[in-house]
Amino acid sequence: MRIAVDPGPRDGPVRIRRLADDGAPLGFEETLTDLAPVAELEREHGPRWVFARAHTYRRLLAAGVDVARAHDVELVEGLLVGAAGHYGQPHGLAAATARLHGRTPDPDPPAGDDGPPALFETGPATDELTEVVAVHAAQQRALAAAGPRMRLLAAAESAGMLVAEEMTCYGLPWHPDIHDRLLTELLGPRPVLGGRPPNLAALAEKVTAAFGGRQLNPDSPAEVLRAFARAGHELETTRSWELRRIDHPAVEPLLAYKELARLHSAHGWSWLRTWVDGGRFRPEYVVGGVVSGRWASRGGGALQIPRAVRAAVRADPGWRLVVADAAQLEPRVLAALSGDHALALGEDDLYTALAAREFGGDRAKAKLALLSAMYGQTSGGAGVLLATLRRRFPAAMGYVEDAARAGEEGRLVRSHLGRTCPPARPGHEQPAAARARGRFTRNFVVQATAAEWALVLLAELRLQLRAARSPARLVFFQHDEVLLHTPAAAAEEAAAAVRAAAETAGRRLFGASPVRFPMQLRIVEGYDER
């Protein structure tokens, strides 16, 4: 059974409608006084809940209600719109409803705008429950026609929404005192009145001195370029890899400055004050926010937590973190996708194994070769290495090269489960634009499939933990890495659940493929511990 739910205005009545699996309404609409009976329906029937969007589940969680399964109408609409070749077109509930009635949809409301319609909005009053029911039924028809892979993707995307909301609600354990200590060690004591911390100020002085004492702001690329030009170094940019190539006394302090300045501005004391509360960091995750289906995040740069402050992520006393990441996920996905299984035999380090067989034991070469194949790099000596790969793994290389050609020719490419890339834009016939789109579609097929493998793992892991009544909680997810927060006594069992979920994810995507997706697992107190 499925149940569509409209939580309505805060503290108001909650409307629900029971549905058959094909989306057809069963019986009549029901009105609940609040969200508490939802928990009861969950216990009794364990339905798949049909929500308009993540915000609906956020309301349930705020009321202390969680559920096992969901169908997120707006996320699924995004997948279906994309599959029809219209990635980026509006996919909110209002847009989906308009499409259902043959009208041209208006643009989606801005992200994060979940409130009631603005006071002065003049459109007709909408009935969210009716719209959810109607759009969901249409989506079930579309998914039935699209096939089992697309249905798996829709379920996994929706499960991702549940995980994302639960992670935001629970928060990532974050110790402000540890973070503060790290910052003080690296930057010097926090300046009371703002301005540059002592170590940054000292480095800025060194840069100035290296340019003969002439004042400059190291944060201004234009000023830095001018200073180097006066010293006889004509640079294109001030990127660190370009700076490293020249011989000038300002380079070393400038590089050190850039590194610390970034830490200070992106994850310094003001970040700590803004984003960490009560020992938890609560970023908002945007499921499917990246074209490839990877998640994005809103606020706090959650998916770019620098290594330098990871020690601040620490389990509560008596608890542990289970840190698990999929080893070399993307090349393994390519091996499974293309059927070129020799590329990813066994569970050992894939680059080392490849290097031993093809690149004279040079792991760096093997890694560069594979990444170049997936990203479309040709320069930097990658060309020679690619020739080796092409000879040795023709099916794998052919797979990404077909995707690149499709992109260059303006066609669409799809992930294994059917996530579809955006259509070519006008002007893509221009050679440079065509090559750029080729690099994009080449990477898309791999990155998007890797993202859905990770999503299925996440969904499986969540259901396993629920089924086992494990006290372990998912607290972080970053592309191919998962963090659980768990009482120490339950850590081993949680780690086993991660391994099992990875196994299941591989099977659900690729059936009997011999390609393995090993997880590197560690049970630690601090995220920085190896």
Least Å distance, CB 415 to DNA, is 13
Of 91 and 294, nearer to DNA (C-beta) is 294
How far is the C-alpha of 60 from the C-alpha of 53, rounded, in Å? 12
Of 29 and 219, nearer to DNA (C-beta) is 219
Of 42 and 408, nearer to DNA (C-beta) is 408
Of 49 and 477, nearer to DNA (C-beta) is 477
Least Å distance, CB 440 to DNA, is 4
How far is the C-alpha of 19 from the C-alpha of 133, rounded, in Å? 8
| DSSP code of residue 110 | P
Of 308 and 345, nearer to DNA (C-beta) is 308
Cβ atoms of 480 and 454 closer than 8 Å? yes
Least Å distance, CB 513 to DNA, is 22
Cβ atoms of 192 and 322 closer than 8 Å? no
Least Å distance, CB 459 to DNA, is 19
Q: Please, which residues bridge with residue 277 across strands?
A: 280
How far is the C-alpha of 344 from the C-alpha of 504, rounded, in Å? 18
Q: Which helix (H) or strand (E) holds 161?
A: helix 148-170
Least Å distance, CB 159 to DNA, is 20
How far is the C-alpha of 466 from the C-alpha of 487, rounded, in Å? 15
Number of Cβ atoms within 10 Å of the Cβ of 283: 20
Least Å distance, CB 433 to DNA, is 11
How far is the C-alpha of 298 from the C-alpha of 302, rounded, in Å? 8
Helices (H), 339-430: 350-358, 363-375, 382-392, 394-408
Of 3 and 329, nearer to DNA (C-beta) is 329
Least Å distance, CB 90 to DNA, is 17
Of 205 and 259, nearer to DNA (C-beta) is 259
Sort 95 into a burial class: Cβ within 10 Å, 0-12 / 13-18 / 19+.
buried
Least Å distance, CB 193 to DNA, is 15
Closest to 4 in 3D by CA, of 124, 111, 131, 112: 131
Of 50 and 260, nearer to DNA (C-beta) is 260
Of 252 and 481, nearer to DNA (C-beta) is 481
Least Å distance, CB 333 to DNA, is 13
Least Å distance, CB 262 to DNA, is 5
Least Å distance, CB 480 to DNA, is 4
How far is the C-alpha of 443 from the C-alpha of 418, rounded, in Å? 15
Of 7 and 300, nearer to DNA (C-beta) is 300
Cβ atoms of 428 and 398 closer than 8 Å? no
Of 120 and 241, nearer to DNA (C-beta) is 241
Structure tokens at 292: 């490839």
How far is the C-alpha of 74 from the C-alpha of 91, rounded, in Å? 6
Strands 319-326 and 280-281: unpaired
How far is the C-alpha of 310 from the C-alpha of 95, rounded, in Å? 41
Alpha-carbon dihedral sign for residues 416, 417, 418, 420: negative
Q: Please, which residues bridge with residue 32 across strands?
A: 14
Number of Cβ atoms within 10 Å of the Cβ of 203: 22
Strands 296-298 and 284-286: antiparallel
Least Å distance, CB 191 to DNA, is 13
Which residues sit at the interface with DNA, rule CB under 7 A? 217, 219-223, 225, 237-242, 244, 258-259, 262, 265-266, 271, 286, 289-292, 294, 296-301, 303-308, 325, 364, 368, 371-372, 375-377, 379-382, 436, 439-440, 443-444, 447, 478-481
Of 136 and 294, nearer to DNA (C-beta) is 294
Which residue is associated with the tokens 């990127």?
239
Q: In what order do the strands lie in the sheet containing 30-32?
A: 30-32, 14-19, 2-6, 48-51, 69-72
User: In whole angstroms, how far apart are CA 484 and each of 202, 299, 469, 502?
Assistant: 40, 21, 14, 15
How much is the CA Rg of the chain, to the nearest whole Å? 26
What SS3 state is found at 508? helix
Least Å distance, CB 371 to DNA, is 5
Of 116 and 380, nearer to DNA (C-beta) is 380
